[in-house]
Structure 1
């Protein structure tokens, strides 16, 4: 696969990874490949289901290829063939098969699949080389010059050489191991609500967007084997942490009820599903993603938010780069963590900037009108490529914007 041979002897080889989402198992795979001994602890008691379709772009596709997972990822594609926009009466305003706003350009090497499918692939590829501990999480992290002692909620304590937090935007690792003023949460002033729904419209691998108002969108997404709905709304003053699940469902209804098209039916379906998800869009900004023997990867250190369309790509690429730098430094965490930070920083900045600009799902009324014209024109063969690039956005280009440690050695 063009990859360097695994190392058999490294310093600081005992690595605790907190979180078994996307970044955690990817990191575990590559650490084990390089001769480290990874342990993953996950707060939940099983693989978490649910979530929307996710995208694997650019260099993240290269990582899956090197893991031997490319064929499995292709087999799990959502297979969505195109998209349209409708009005309140269900009349089509614009339609295209050149791209989708969730998955990107048709025929590109990028991969759209369900989060659960990708997470399962990553877990299956690491079970033989990684210890997994479910239903537990760190409550204290004590560093010395030579090791890290981690106390867990279960009451146990274990010693590791390094700890990596891969536990998401609300990272407990970040809260425990880093000073309170060491990170900044930037709220983008929007939220999303997602859930599984029956395919009552009978779609075959298609997605429909409905702009319920200048600050609201509904997306009905029917991919291979899964139909989901996503609501998104501008809400600058929303403090999502003040609500329980029932409160969030009531809030969603208050914002979208009576909006037209199939919105009321979709509200009934999504608020009844057991995998209902609601969160505001936020970013994590940090001056450093490491402190002593502890580092962060993925959303825990540099969440760009779902509006970037690049969160999964960041998680996979960040994990690969971190493992590669630790291997190149023979386990010297001071050197490896600093190199990881320098290599990833411009890439993260580009992803976060795309989200702050609205990605291509959360746009103003003038941009919405322009996007409709781009979608219409993308059906004209002479203009297809140009209009597709303008409407689908810059995810593909940004996804290629990082070099790997083994690229520098000419072994990629």
Structure 2
């Protein structure tokens, strides 16, 4: 881990962070580094498992490097060597080792690893400097001129100087502390379902995509240490809130039941496991990510959706920028929150726009044809790099498009 900078006396040092996913512990790490006292509360009673492979790109890799975690993150990489597209009979239509649709360009600076592995690294790096409270969550947030009083579901009441919601797209912090008309949830008209399955195809660090039709796709992903399947389908009218867990499993079976390849067994496996995730793709849009002494970070404030392929990068970068602006302002939250909002907003806009344009999850016939050509052409030495970059959809360009507070010789101007 890098050298610890001397702590500077700061105002508003007691910070409650709601959510122990990716953004929350990252923020806790940097707040503690800058002299703040973070407390993280997590609704779950233990570290959440499950999830899909995630990507860390661009400036987020820089953040992990500054944290001294980049080597451990690279050691935990999925190690996926390439990908192919197959038809209903399992015949390979196109194959490449130049890139994968989930992990990006082979040999690039990005890091693909399982979400649980990254979460564990972040947790381990903050245990000594952060108070963690599991199995609880805020039910009341009351601001005064000098502090925030938080009432928890457990019945306890505590006072903090600042509160930061890092509790995901269904953020309780956002719904409690922000007016209902201050945020908008934009549906992208598509859903994903993910679960762990046995590696019954015997893959070695490989992913296979099967497009059953112009509105749906299946991905079988066998990384180092985990095999998962992802189903994705266009369904503009779906409201997941109308279904319970078993209803969502039945819905998935009905949508993919008659498809070919290995879909039947994959449906049996994924709907039969407790490690089952199903959600529609949404984005969070807000004109401001802060109100008084409360701010939001990551999906809680600006979810781009998994279609962007940049959610983890957004969480890490957002947390780093927020902590950096609080440090630069010596705890002046009015100044720091405004600078955070202004600095991060163009970056968020680019990530969300990538998802709205489809990312790598949409399967329209023209897009499917284009991806097939990119795969085939990437096998030609002269076109390998160009085709790989096109297939990545501009991820690296977007992920380098932000300046950090500590990149500048002088602080960002007062708004």
Paired position in structure 2 for 1:36: 36
**Contact map agreement 2:211 2:363 (CA 8 A) in 1:** no
Report 1:378-397 matches (<5 A).
Answer: 378-397=378-397
Paired position in structure 2 for 1:13: 13
Paired position in structure 2 for 1:348: 348
Secondary structure at the counterpart of residue 79 of structure 2? coil
Paired position in structure 2 for 1:198: 198
Paired position in structure 2 for 1:316: 316
**Contact map agreement 1:7 1:327 (CA 8 A) in 2:** no
How far off its partner does 1:363 sit?
Answer: 3.2
Deviations 1:46-92 (A, max 9, x none): 00000000000000000000110011101100000000000000000
| Structure 1: segments with no counterpart, 5+ residues | none
How far off its partner does 1:4 sit?
Answer: 8.1
Q: Are 1:122 and 2:117 matched, yes or no? A: no
**Contact map agreement 1:257 1:264 (CA 8 A) in 2:** yes
Q: For 2:394 and 2:246, locate their aligned partners in 1 and report how far apart those are by CA, in whole Å.
A: 37
Secondary structure at the counterpart of residue 89 of structure 2? coil
Q: For 1:288 and 1:2, locate their aligned partners in 2 and report how far apart those are by CA, in whole Å.
A: 33
How far off its partner does 1:5 sit?
Answer: 2.4
How far off its partner does 1:397 sit?
Answer: 1.2
How far off its partner does 1:387 sit?
Answer: 1.2
Paired position in structure 2 for 1:295: 295
Report 1:362-377 matches (<5 A).
Answer: 362-377=362-377
**Contact map agreement 1:3 1:66 (CA 8 A) in 2:** no
Q: For 1:409 and 1:130, locate their aligned partners in 2 and report how far apart those are by CA, in whole Å.
A: 30
Secondary structure at the counterpart of residue 167 of structure 1? coil
Secondary structure at the counterpart of residue 314 of structure 1? helix
Q: For 1:58 and 1:405, locate their aligned partners in 2 and report how far apart those are by CA, in whole Å.
A: 16
Q: For 1:390 and 1:107, locate their aligned partners in 2 and report how far apart those are by CA, in whole Å.
A: 15
In the superposition, relative to structure 1, how do residues 261 and 62 fare at CA in structure 2: closer, same or farther (>3 Å)?
same
Paired position in structure 2 for 1:22: 22
Q: For 2:382 and 2:154, locate their aligned partners in 1 and report how far apart those are by CA, in whole Å.
A: 62
Deviations 1:232-280 (A, max 9, x none): 0000000001100100000000000020000000000000111100000
Q: Are 1:357 and 2:347 matched, yes or no? A: no
Deviations 1:268-309 (A, max 9, x none): 000011110000000000000000000000000000000000
**Contact map agreement 1:18 1:166 (CA 8 A) in 2:** yes
Deviations 1:289-346 (A, max 9, x none): 0000000000000000000000000000000000000000000000000000000000
Report 1:8-407 matches (<5 A).
Answer: 8-407=8-407
Q: For 1:15 and 1:290, locate their aligned partners in 2 and report how far apart those are by CA, in whole Å.
A: 14
Q: For 2:404 and 2:363, locate their aligned partners in 1 and report how far apart those are by CA, in whole Å.
A: 33
Q: For 2:50 and 2:391, locate their aligned partners in 1 and report how far apart those are by CA, in whole Å.
A: 28
Give the stretch that moved more between structures: 343-352 or 359-368. Answer: 359-368
Deviations 1:333-391 (A, max 9, x none): 00000000000000000000000000022131111111101110100001111111112
Q: For 2:60 and 2:209, locate their aligned partners in 1 and report how far apart those are by CA, in whole Å.
A: 27
Give the stretch that moved more between structures: 235-244 or 387-396. Answer: 387-396
How far off its partner does 1:396 sit?
Answer: 1.2
What TM-score, normalized to structure 1? 0.98
Give the stretch that moved more between structures: 316-325 or 395-404. Answer: 395-404
Secondary structure at the counterpart of residue 145 of structure 2? coil
